[in-house]
Amino acid sequence: MARQQTPPVIGRRELFRSMVAGSLLMPGVLAELFASEQPQVEDPLSPKQPHFPAKAKRVIFVFSNGGVSHMDSFDYKPKLFQADGKMLGVGGGLSDQPRKLLKPLWDYKPGGECGTLVSDLFPYLRKQMDDICLIKSMHGNDNEHYNATLGMHTGSFFFSRPSIGSWISYGLGTSNQNLPSFIALAPQMPYAGTQIFNNDFLPAYHQGVRVIGGAEPIADLNRRTTTADLQELELGLADVLNNRHLSQRGHDSDLSARVRSFETAFHMQSDAPEAFDVAAETDQTLAMYGLDRGQNEGFGWQCLVARRLAERGVRFIELVDGSSSHNWDQHSNMPEHAQHAKVIDQPLAGLLQDLKDRGMLHDTLLVWTTEFGRTPGVDGDNGRGHHSACFSSWMAGGGVKGGISFGSTDEIGATVAEDGVHVHDFHATILHLLGIDHTRLTYRHAGRDYRLTDVHGRVVHQILA
Amino acid sequence: MLFTPCFRNSFTTTGALLLSIFVSKYTRGDEAVSFFRGLNLNGPAVLIDGNRWEGGTAESYRCDDRQFENQNIALHPVTDRDRAAMIRSSRYGGNRVELLNVPPGEYSILLYVWEDNDTETYSVALNSETVLERHESGIRGHWDRLGPWTIQVGQEATIVVTSKGGTANFSGIEVWRGNYDGQSRPITEEELAFFEKRIRPLLADKCYECHSADADDVQGELLVDSRDTLRRGGTKGPAVVLGDVEQSLLVEAVSYENDEMQMPPDQKLSDTEIDDLKRWILMGAPDPRSTVTKYAGKQIDVDQAREFWSLQPIQNVVIPQVHDLAWPLNAVDRFVLASMEQHSLAPATDADKRALLRRATYDLIGLPPTPAEVDAFLADDSQDAYAKVVERLLGSPRYGERWGRHWLDVVRYADTAGDNSDYPIPQMHRYRDWVISAFNRDLPYDEFVRDQLAGDLRGGNTEAERRDRLIATGYLANSRRFGSRVVDYPQHLTIEDTIDNLGRSFLGLTLSCARCHDHKFDPITNRDYYGLYGIFHSTRYPWPGIELDKKQRDFVPLVEPESVQDAERKLRERLAEQQRLAEAVKTLKESLKKANPETKPAVEQELKKAEQQARAHRELPPPFETAYAVAESKTTEDVAIQLKGDPARPGDVVPRRFLTVLGGQQLTDPHASGRLQLAEWLLADDNPLPARVMVNRIWQHHFGNGLVPTPNNFGRQGKLPTHPELLDYLADRFRAEGWSIKAMHRTIMLSRTYRQSSLRDSQSVLQDPENQWLAGYPRRRLDAEAIRDTLLAVSKDLDLSKAGAHPFPPEHAWDFTQHKPFKATYPSQHRSIYLMTQRIQRHPFLAIFDGADPSTSIGSRMTSTTPLQALYFLNDPLVHDQASRLASRVLSEADQFSDRVQLAYELLFSRLPTDEEQHALEQFIAQARILLQAEGLSSHGLEDQAWQACIRSLVRLNEFVYLD
């Protein structure tokens, strides 16, 4: 299979100089500029060594808003099909009122050679279960969207803390300095808003950069001067004057870092739109993601852009499916799950296949999760309530075993039966795959060392390849 | 054989045999007393006093009463988690419980009741015979275990419990065989002998070291030295479950089944010892140790703890001797120079007048000096020219806007509540304005502290002062709100936020570490924490609205004191009326559904009218202004420790008091919340922290770093002061000068240390790369607010008028949920301190430029340099707009090219351009004109556009955003 070449990353300094040299200014000043070598500044985002050899180099983290029903998607519960309408007792991590059980609305069929059962909500993903490590015993601490979403992203269910992407950026840096280390493809706002990709107390370099798609996918990315030449001219003048200022002040690394940041920004103006532009993709590729030519939004576009960003060395890419107001939160109408599944099933399967075809799956960790599952008992007329006591998530590539299904719930999907994976464990495992010991990735803030996993978390060794 | 229903035994045959000998069979006279059953009438199976109770779905009983549950109400008295959950889920209406299939015999009945709202009076009957007359249910949250009442059951095999009169909440029923006294179960002689011989010595020998009141440091909150504490258990749950070996954590721990809980840790007990424990539990763990033990908490050796530098009294320091006598201008300089000399460093030269003026102006008012101010300063040759500048700046109303912002960072100011829907708080700006005004009028810092903690209790010499002080408690009110729920509303997290902030802001201590356990590093205990917690538990916080309860309440009316009650009543009536109107609409909507074609038009008409009325009432302007402020709570009380920070797991009640290490003063008036006293404890002469912490903050905002580089943490995890004696000199002086912040600015700014140039010689840079010895002024970047304010100011677009309230939508239109949270950014030409700040959504500009994170106390901001900041300067509309307006200003105010360059330089950099720079800009403009002309721009717009490009270039310069 032909492999697309990853675009070469040109040294920024060189390009910037050629740009300045090519366009303007008096030779005297230029000569002076080039004669003085810049002091080396350590880039806070330069790649860092993990604690131990990593299986995964980057993460694509897909988050489905609203709470995807586990018993209707990945967690087959034959008893629940039979028990439809029976009363369910109070308690047991379910709900505070007795409810009638509601049978799942979709049939299950085995997928791949492993034969993992997946419901008809996800026919595309079902075909790829041999590459997927399904976790059926996820559980969290909170039954509210906001808090569960915050927990899934930061390990904290109430307080604002750095997002997992920020922690990973802080721990590993990134390999492409012309793009941010952490990009959140979030056309709409998820629950808990910007907090889910916020750096919080970590340095701002690690803030998730939100991409909304459309004409200006990142704030202030589009050149606002009428021509590129004019902007280059402006930058050239600033560069000359900045260097003079710098040379009068000895070697101040803060000042030189700021000069460099303009070079990076200059390149982001061209590199980032190129990464977000899927025009160069073949028809065949677009079809895998269920995309029409010319389409530059929608979940298929997010998935394809995620692959392009992964190719370009972005460390952590988050894809937000849905928003806080339009999502999988089917309190009274479970059939609506079908339309939400249709949005993500083919693109996600396409992304997985595409990563595999391009030989990227082995070192790219693809994660799919939601904030919680849904109750086995009915809510409203024909829906399900929030259920953090158990739910399903999956991972693929990047050092996890494919074709397995880990952990289980009781016979109606009400509680974890064995091998529970708490949100903290989930995080610890993701960090482990990236070569990070979750107990050692710390940041001193307000008098103590903080961690993504707080004082919890266990690596789920059973799912590691 | 006598098996009680609750003892589910899965132990060995031997165990079962033993059971028949010992378990629960004992005599008092001739009657056997044993636990028969417990019923949690509306909830799951629970463990009460070591006995297993059945849940509401159990068999052999009947109750058709309605179910009610509110786990959110605090119970009086406080009790353990299972019991509390059982009590708060109850049944009411009808009030009839029938226990069925009861074998004939004598039984004792106990009934758990509670009150969820207003006091009710009712009587209780057993099998139609009244056993209790006129019982009063008590205040909201009060509960009782009524009985025991003894009853003979015959062939009817039924016990019926009923109540008459007011509405009773039946939570649970406890039934014992025989004549039970409702107290502890008496112990037989054999049991006692077994306990004394086999169990007590074992526990004392193997467990007490870490699990008794005498332990040095009790582990897992578990005390095994009394019956109640053993059964209540520690952080992991009950240690023994009567008769249930499998569920007893004690057995799990000693049998080494669980890798993470193996007790005793050094050596496993012998098989005989383990068997003894199992036998004992099967007997029902008979235990004569009825006196509840209490662990007094880790004892702090106060004297030893106060040896830590920050807790030592403020020293009366001697101003040090220095070699270079010519350099120092004041005492500050002597301290700084002495440190330099110790490190073989020499001061930098004095800053030139332009740099000094730019520095002082930004420092005090957050804006650049105007060209006229620069000229005036340059022209003033008098000795005190600079002192006059400092005085002018301290007198500027812009000063409070700058320094107030520093304080707002520390108190994590926000205009929204922080709950999942982030409800707006339109009244919050009053506190912001109070802070600004407090700085402007140099309100002494001790008063500043008192007002924020207890302003509502201080009254005032004038009505204006009284209101100001009320508003100041917005500091407490502004504590973060959490969640979306009304049931299980996490008020404890809000109080946690208060205590966390109070500790960091005023004391430089991280108190919240002591919420779950004694502080690991600092001398602050779990008990200290809950001593403070009781104070804020006894404080009424205003309710800003939340998804499921949207209306503001408990805001403080800004009316004359004598009208407050009246005003509060009006507010309540208004809310009630609003509810009534809403109900009426709802009822009419229901009737409309049922209406027939004939009646329909009339109902529709009525509904329309009712809706109009409801809307009109909703949209009525509030009858008076209110403040987001606190008040004393109706119930002021001490609270129980929350084990591991979990409010559902109460430990001992601790009295309201101050931190042990800072004096441990205890509240004398139980009817007060204790805030007023807290302010005084905090400001007591022998507490060195408030003065040290505040002078350090002032120093920090003049030099970029504090003398203690961790301004919010003066504990062991914080950093040591670089100049401890200088810190004490300043702290002492601060108090001696009546806690005047402006006096402190003068002391610092008039020093020669402050007036040094930022150009350091290479030896100094090499030797002291962090510049902690201050041999030169530390260069620093402008903060987010200064950048934005300057961009607006230089083009004359900064609106300096009073900013006032934010344009929030009116309260009646609020419908925010976690699905559609409140989210807005309001355009403004005012200074950045007036930008609307959301607790959980960062303002886009402030987020990019390291603005304060409004979700936590920020003692010092980070200064990051990111490509997103560069993108902002490259492409943001604000930069382009302001550049274009500044270009117009430059073009209209100066005619000659060189004058224009000079004006731009004076406005942006407070200095004159060099010839070289004049030349470079000239070339640039020429080049730009060529480029623009090539684009087809007419010559008319050329000059404007070229200058706009030039200004854009200049505002991107390091010189623009860095302060020398």
- What pLDDT, in 10s, does the model give residues A374-422? 999 888 888 999 999 999 999 999 999 999 999 999 988 988 999 999 9
CA distance B744 to B195: 69
Question: Measured between beta carbons, which residues in chain A are less than 8 angstroms from residue B504?
Answer: 446
Q: What is the mean pLDDT of residues B372-383?
A: 97
Across the range B713-717, mean pLDDT stands at: 91
CB A29 within 8 A of CB A240: yes
Q: Residue range B388-415: average pLDDT?
A: 98
Contacts 24+ apart (CB under 8 A), B149-153: B149/B108, B149/B109, B150/B106, B150/B107, B150/B108, B150/B109, B150/B179, B150/B180, B151/B106, B151/B107, B151/B108, B151/B109, B151/B126, B151/B127, B152/B105, B152/B106, B152/B107, B153/B102, B153/B103, B153/B104, B153/B105, B153/B106, B153/B107
pLDDT-derived band of residue A129, with 50, 70 and 90 as boundaries?
very high
What integer pLDDT is reported at residue B709 of this predicted model?
93
CB-based contact B958 A258, cutoff 8 Å: yes
Q: Is B616 on the interface with A (CB under 8 A)?
A: no
Domain B27-177 has CATH 1.10.10.60: no
Q: What is the pLDDT of residue A10?
A: 32
Assign B415 a pLDDT band (cuts: 50, 70, 90). Answer: very high
Answer whether B781 touches A (CB < 8 Å). Answer: yes
Among A96, A237, A252, select the one facing B953 at the smallest CB separation. Answer: A237
Q: Grade residue A94 by pLDDT with cuts at 50, 70 and 90.
A: very low
Which of A234, A252, A263 is the best residue to mutate to test the B interface, defined by the most B CB atoms within 10 Å of its own CB? A234
The answer to whether A212 faces chain B, any CB pair under 8 Å, is no
Is residue A73 over pLDDT 90?
Answer: yes
pLDDT of residue B305 exceeding 50: yes
Mutate: best of A24, A145, A154, A160, partner B, most B CBs <10 A: A160
Min Cα distance B543 → chain A (Å) is 19
Q: Which residues in chain A have their CB less than 8 angstroms from residue B869's CB? A: 261
Instruction: With a cut of 80, say whether residue B50 has pLDDT above it.
Output: no
Alpha helix stretches (DSSP H) within B636-740 = 675-683, 689-703, 724-736
- Greater model confidence, B91 or A178: B91
* CA–CA dist A43, B418 (Å, integer): 34
- Residue ranges of E strands in B473-629: 539-540, 556-557, 626-627
What does the pLDDT read at residue A251? Answer: 66
Question: What pLDDT is recorded for position B184?
Answer: 63
Those residues whose C-beta lies under 8 Å from the C-beta of residue B908, and which sit 6 or more positions away, are B368, B794, B954, B955, B959, B960
Cβ-based contacts under 8 A for chains A and B? 223
What dihedral angle (degrees, nearest 10) is formed by the CA atoms of A185, A189, A190, A193? 110
**Model pLDDT, residue B940:** 77
| Strands of B546-675, DSSP E | 556-557, 626-627, 631-632, 639-642, 650-654
CB contact under 8 A, B867 and A180: yes
Distance CA(A218)–CA(B351), nearest Å, equals 42
- The answer to whether A91 contacts chain B (CB < 8 Å) is yes
Asked if pLDDT for residue B238 goes beyond 90, the answer is no
B420, B916, B924 ranked by CB distance to A146: nearest? B420
pLDDT of residue A30: 38
The answer to whether the CB of B281 falls within 8 A of the CB of B241 is yes
pLDDT for residue A11: 34
pTM, two decimal places: 0.79
Q: Read off the pLDDT of residues A273-289 as tens digits, 9 standing for 90 and up.
A: 999 999 999 999 999 99
Q: B873 CB near a chain A CB, below 8 Å?
A: yes
Least confident of A158-167, A252-261, B36-45, B879-888: A252-261
B3 pLDDT higher than 50 = no
pLDDT given at position B330: 97
Highest mean pLDDT among B255-269, B412-426, B560-574, B936-950: B412-426
Using CB atoms, pick whichever of B420, B490, B840 lies closest to residue A160.
B840
All domains of chain A, ordered by start, with CATH?
A: 54-222+299-463 (3.40.720.10)
ipTM: 0.77
B57 touches chain A (CB under 8 A): yes
> Is A237 in the B-facing interface, judged by CB distances under 8 Å?
yes
Contact B949 A257 (CB under 8 A): no
- Structural domain boundaries in chain B: 27-177, 189-282, 559-624, 873-963
Band (pLDDT 50/70/90 cuts) for residue A97 is low
B304 touches chain A (CB under 8 A): no
Is A256 part of the contact surface with chain B (CB cutoff 8 Å)?
no
pLDDT of residue B10 exceeding 50, the answer is no
B959 to A189: CB separation less than 8 angstroms, yes or no = no
CA distance, residue B753 to nearest chain A CA (Å): 19
Question: What is the mean pLDDT of the segment spanning A252-281?
Answer: 89
